[in-house]
Amino acid sequence: MLAKRIIPCLDVDHGRVKKGVNFVNLQYVGDPVEIAAAYQQQGADELVFLDITATNEKRKAMAETIRKVASQVFMPLTVGGGIHSVDDMQNLLKAGADKTAINSAAVSNPEVITAGAEKFGVQCVVLAIDAKWNSARRQYDVYVNGGRQQTNLNAIEWAKKGVALGAGELLVTSMDKDGTKSGYDIQLYKQLTAAVNVPVIASGGCGQLGDFVEVFDQADVDGALAASVFHFGELTISEVKADLRKDGVIVR
Amino acid sequence: MITIIDYDTGNTRNVKNALDFLGVPNQLSADPNEILMADGLILPGVGAFKKAMDSLNERGLAPVIQQAADAGIPILGICLGMQILFDTSYEFGESTGLGLIAGEVVPIPEDLGVKVPHMGWDQNRSRKVDPLGDGFDEQFSYFVHSYYVKTTSESIVSTVDYGVQIPSIVRKDNVIGFQFHPEKSGAVGLNGLSKFKEMVENADYSRN
């Protein structure tokens, strides 16, 4: 059976790694190749690179960053942020990425999911969703543009539609939990994994060891993504995996 | 020199990156002479079976690879590159493969409660003693595929359990296949590529 994946996320701005807290405040962390290699050493199962570069011109740096990382680090690499077209996907896949995560562009132009899946295979197309609980409507709303703009989409319905269009994986960030370090949004992932039959990666809220056990025990997610707990050395991946193993979760 | 067969498929660059990282002399090529003169061949592959075979045939490479295999040149097929080593695939209708190992390529059954594609790190179990497979026993490697190979037990070096037993390493003499991506499987995968390099260095064959 497949191992559950532990996935550090690197926010990259024009070739440098940063960590976005609640999508707004940024702190410098360092060189992508160095950090990626350190995570490989620690036993990361995959790396997500999120391009937070503001302008399209500077965004071209991302393919170069991936090219450098892929020549030194031998695990699956996912790239998200600012991907709008099949050409954008192709540039990153050619540079050495294994998957591309589409967020806002998939909402405004859902056909890009299908076009990417047909051209590269569903395994290359990750639908990234930023979701926030709406207590009035009693549903998770989808947000775009780095969490700044609310849409009228229901996250669970959008996830189902995205899979039907060709997304091979979902990377879902809980905006309520992101940056809080209070654990993953279990309810969100329970609903998502019940609704789709593709891998779901949980993101947002991880603050301590027990959060990983909780999300894998309580929701049928395939991977858990975290950033600051790893970047600032609060937890190591090996320590997370040891804890999961103790709990009977299959990890590499 | 190891020649990576370059026929417009996805993961070629990353396979080259891994060999470069290991310091293994290699080149990308679709030139029949460079393929037949290589000490070892790697056949990468991502995507659909029929498209990959069409792509090889457009370049006239299927008979060249078959000739290289007959001559005893070690050949490593990776992922889809492993699947096209076999006779037949049923992906989008029936298509003919290289026929270097007996067997067929069929869909992973979805009714077993597993997610398809089989995507992620899975644990290999050795089925026989083989220098190519020994480093993988109990180890996880990275898979991405929706079809798998059905072949005779003599050809199976290791498997992973995914509802069905999926052959993860296959071998018939000098022809080897990895269903996983060694170039994406960390130290374990790089070790597999090093073992292939050793096999290439120790290969005993004559060219006509």
pLDDT digits (tens, 9 = 90+) for A238-250: 999 999 999 999 9
* Per-residue model confidence (pLDDT) at position B27: 97
DSSP 8-state secondary structure symbol assigned to residue B110: G
Residue range B149-173: average pLDDT? 97
Nearest-CA distance A90 → chain B (Å): 10
pLDDT over 90 percentage in chain A: 75
pLDDT digits (tens, 9 = 90+) for B50-95: 989 999 999 999 999 999 999 999 999 999 999 999 999 988 889 9
> Hey, what's the torsion of the CAs at A207, A210, A213, A215, to 10 degrees?
-40
pLDDT over 70 percentage in chain B: 98
Catalytic-role residue among A88, A98, A130, A185:
A130
How many domains, chain B? Answer: 1
Q: Do B21 and A123 touch (CB under 8 A)?
A: no
Q: How far is CA A74 from CA A39, A136, A163, A221, B87, in A?
A: 11, 46, 28, 24, 31
Residue A73's closest CA among B15, B135, B4, B18? Answer: B18
* Per-residue model confidence (pLDDT) at position B180: 98
* Per-residue model confidence (pLDDT) at position A54: 67
How many domains, chain A? Answer: 1
Q: Using a CB–CB cutoff of 8 Å, tell me whether B17 touches chain A.
A: yes
* Per-residue model confidence (pLDDT) at position B46: 81
Tokens 């690197």: give the residue. A10
Q: Which residues of A touch B184 (CB under 8 A)?
A: 74-76, 98
* Per-residue model confidence (pLDDT) at position A31: 83
* Per-residue model confidence (pLDDT) at position B204: 73
* Per-residue model confidence (pLDDT) at position B207: 60
Residue B207 lies in a domain: no
Residue range A178-203: average pLDDT? 96
Nearest-CA distance B140 → chain A (Å): 6
CB-based contact B176:B2 (threshold 8 Å): no
Q: Using a CB–CB cutoff of 8 Å, tell me whether B162 touches chain A.
A: yes
* Per-residue model confidence (pLDDT) at position A25: 43
Domain containing residue B35: 2-202
pLDDT digits (tens, 9 = 90+) for A42-97: 899 999 999 988 676 667 789 999 999 999 999 999 999 999 999 999 999 999 99
Residue A24 lies in a domain: yes
* Chain length of chain A: 252
Q: Hey, which residues 62-81 in chain B have their CB within 8 Å of chain A?
A: none
Q: Which residues of B touch A197 (CB under 8 A)?
A: 110, 115
| Gap between the Cα atoms of B199 and A245, Å rounded | 35
Residue B133 lies in a domain: yes
Residue A252 lies in a domain: no
Residue A251 lies in a domain: no
Q: Do A2 and B17 touch (CB under 8 A)?
A: no
Which pLDDT band holds residue B115 (cuts at 50, 70, 90)?
confident
Residue A18 lies in a domain: yes
Q: Which residues of B touch A45 (CB under 8 A)?
A: 120-121
pLDDT digits (tens, 9 = 90+) for A96-146: 999 999 999 999 999 999 999 988 888 999 999 999 999 999 999 999 998
Q: Using a CB–CB cutoff of 8 Å, tell me whether B6 touches chain A.
A: no
Domain containing residue A98: 5-246
Residue B165 lies in a domain: yes
Mean pLDDT of chain A: 91
Residue A75's closest CA among A114, A53, A49? Answer: A49
Please report, for the domain that includes residue A227, its CATH number. 3.20.20.70
Q: Using a CB–CB cutoff of 8 Å, tell me whether A209 touches chain B.
A: no
Mean pLDDT of chain B: 94
Please report, for the domain that includes residue B54, its CATH number. 3.40.50.880
Residue type, A241: K
